[in-house]
Amino acid sequence: MKAVRRAAACLAVMLGWLLLGSPAPVATALAGEPAVAGVRLGLHPHLTRVVVDLTGAPDYRVFALDDPPRIVIDLSGAALDLSPDDLPGQRGLVAAVRAGRPAPGVSRITIDLAATAAVADVELLKGSQRRPYRLVVDLTAEEPDADAVVARADAAEPDPAAEARDDDAPQAVSDVPPSVPGGPGTQLAALPAPPPQPATADPEGADPGDEAALPAALPLPPIKPRAALAALADKPLVVIDPGHGGIDPGAISPSGLEEKTITLAVAKAVRDQLLATGDYRVMLTRGDDTFIRLRDRFEIARSAGAALFVSLHADSHDDPQTRGASVYTLSETASDKEAAALADRENRADLLADVALSEEQKKALERLTEEQKKVVVRVLDDFRRLETARYSNDFAETVVQRLAAATRLLRNTHRWAGFAVLKAPDVPSVLIELGYLSNKSDERQLASRRHQARLAAAIVRSIRDYFRKHPQEVRLNASGAGNRFPG
């Protein structure tokens, strides 16, 4: 549990400083740096596949640039030891492949395009003793077909209980903590966990060096639910927050379409598609036309032990030509004042209980004065917020990548603001503006069930990408409930 270990190390240093005047020893270990082992190209019906072979699993970012058109793959913390002779030549939609280091600690693979292309899919396939890690990027000459994207998320065998329920009715689920706040619209639902993503996604016995051995489409993991429910609590809880509701309609289009209706429809689509994977528990902050205060929304997520919080909204602008989706994370400057107030309100014992302490550290903590304990709590709270912000920003970048294949984006898509619903100090959170109801084109799309399903599919894929990039580990929230937290 890296997040917990880092907090424990931080606390050990503070205790040594406060009690002894010198820091206590902290053990650290450096993991081996992954490296780019090669780049391959493959042709499949309707797409060109780029495969980057890796010795490990680095953080990555894939994005498109114009003038000239190209696709850029940035690999953070990955070594690069390729010569021009190691890179493939022209094939399919790819005119050339280049590699370099634009910044310390970053390896960049640049795909020069022979024609305008879109990124249809990005997957990091886990390595094994026989196969390397592979970052697979699929390129298509046109935007991915919406029906194909939605069909993959809808391919799950339906859950009979889910089919039988009233979609707008509150759902009672046995593993909801009794202390979870929220109105009658608060929902929690889950399916049992499927087998984990296989480490060998290639056909059995295939040569890992042959790009033709990779499947032409990258399917979702097996999604048939298991009978056993024992692993239910081990699955990460994702809280989806449909913005506005009840007396608060949110933005209203010229034709009268209300934001609260759109956000609820997309939230339910995200919930259903997430449950279809079998990998997550899912909670909606509201499941009907209910008004919930802003602060209560993220408190619902915190009390339930959420691993991720996604708030959905639709925007409005005085300029009817403004359109496109955007993604927000919390601005540091916007959150400073409330962060300090929240830290003061929180019980110090609850915050310190989040950190695994040795018996010696516990005894040292008991010897601190009240003022010294306040210092410890403030530092731990800052540490917690920095960790949360790091994961929030990383998830936001993943959402931007996935939304780019599903809808039009606003310029500078990832933005920062002081939205109240993003101020949970220990739950990675993003706010997604799905489009502008003040724009006729966006309004028409947002009212379309097909487009709603396409948006939901993009959000689901970004959630799956996020948890694949960051191994999940147990975190104790303020109530002591177990939770999956990336580290």
* pLDDT tens, residue order, the chain (487 aa): 444 445 555 555 555 555 544 443 333 223 457 888 889 998 887 889 999 999 888 888 888 887 788 899 999 888 887 777 788 888 888 999 998 888 778 889 999 988 888 888 888 888 877 788 899 999 988 544 444 444 444 443 333 333 333 333 333 332 333 333 344 344 444 433 333 444 333 333 333 334 334 343 333 333 333 333 334 557 899 999 999 999 999 999 999 999 999 999 999 999 999 999 988 999 999 999 999 998 899 889 988 889 999 999 999 999 999 999 999 998 765 444 444 454 454 444 444 555 555 666 667 767 777 777 677 767 776 777 778 888 999 999 999 999 999 999 998 899 988 888 888 888 999 999 999 999 999 999 999 999 999 999 999 999 999 998 875 533 333 333 344 344 3
Domain presence at residue 16: no
Same domain, 452 and 305: yes
Q: Is the residue at 89 inside a domain?
A: yes
pLDDT at residue 372 in the model: 72
The answer to whether the beta carbons of residues 285 and 182 sit under 8 Å apart is: yes
CA distance 448 to 451: 5
HEC string for the chain: CHHHHHHHHHHHHHHHHHHHCCCCCCCCCCCCCCEEEEEEEEEECCEEEEEEEECCCCEEEEEEECCCCEEEEEEECCEECCCHHHCCCCECCEEEEEEEEEECCEEEEEEEECCCCEEEEEEEECCCCCCCEEEEEEEECCCCCHHHHHHHHCCCCCCHHHHHCCCCCCCCCCCCCCCCCCCCCCEEEECCCCCCCCCCCCCCCCCCCCHHHCCCCCCCCCCCCCCCCCCHHHCCEEEEEECCECCECCCECCCCCEHHHHHHHHHHHHHHHHHHHCCCEEEECCCCCCCCCHHHHHHHHHHHCCCEEEEEEEECCCCCCCCCEEEEEECHHHHHHHHHHHHHHCCHHHHHHCCCCCHHHHHHHHCCCHHHHHHHHHHHHHHHHHHHHHHHHHHHHHHHHHHCCCCCEEEEEEEEECCHHHCCCCCCEEEEEEEECCCHHHHHHHCCHHHHHHHHHHHHHHHHHHHHHCCEEEEECCCCCEEEEEC
- Our count of domains for the chain comes to 2
Backbone angles phi, psi at 319, to 5 degrees: -90, 110
Q: Which of 79, 110, 142 is the last residue of a domain?
A: 142
pLDDT of residue 200: 36
Amino acid at 211: E
Q: Which of 142, 168, 183 is the last residue of a domain?
A: 142
Residue 225: what pLDDT? 37
Give the residue among 331, 334, 332 at the shortest CA–CA distance from 416.
331
Task: Give the per-residue pLDDT at 43.
Answer: 84
Same domain, yes or no: 273 and 384: yes
| Residue in the structure block whose two tokens are 């028409």 | 444
As a whole number of angstroms, the distance between CA 463 and CA 396 comes to: 10
Same domain, 134 and 156: no
- Token output for 328: 């927000």
Are both 463 and 358 inside the same structural domain? yes
Query: Which region holds residue 46: left if phi is over 0, alpha if psi is between -120 and 50, else beta?
Result: left
Please choose, from the candidates 429, 407, 410, the residue with its C-alpha nearest in 3D space to the C-alpha of residue 418.
Answer: 429
Please indicate, yes or no, whether residues 420 and 339 belong to a single structural domain of this protein.
yes
CATH number at residue 307: 3.40.630.40
Give a yes or no: residue 285 inside a domain.
Answer: yes
Look at the alpha carbons of 292, 296, 297, 303 in this order and tell me if their dihedral is positive or negative.
negative
Q: What's the CA gap between 68 and 174, in Å, rounded?
A: 55
Question: Are 319 and 423 in the same domain?
Answer: yes
393 and 443 inside one domain = yes
d(CA 199, CA 115): 33
Residue 5 inside a domain? The answer is no
Residue 217 belongs to a domain: no
Answer yes or no: are the C-beta atoms of 225 and 159 closer than 8 Å. Answer: yes
Q: How confident is the model at residue 355, as a pLDDT?
A: 54
**Structure confidence at residue 29 (pLDDT):** 28
Residue 460: per-residue pLDDT: 96
Strand order in the sheet with 94-103: 59-65, 70-76, 106-113, 94-103
Can you give the residue range of the structural domain that contains 291?
A: 150-192+227-486
Q: Would residue 464 count as lying in a domain?
A: yes
Asked, for residue 204, whether it belongs to a domain, the answer is no
Residues 107, 245 share a domain? no
Residues 185, 82: one domain?
no
Q: What is the CATH number of the domain that holds 104?
A: 2.60.40.3500
Q: Tell whether 94 and 116 lie within a shared domain.
A: yes
Q: Which two three-digit tokens encode residue 350?
A: 């609850």
Using the 3D structure, point to which of 109, 142, 175 is the last residue of a domain: 142
Same structural domain for residues 130 and 267?
no
Q: Are residues 367 and 275 in the same domain?
A: yes
Domain assignment of residue 339, yes or no: yes
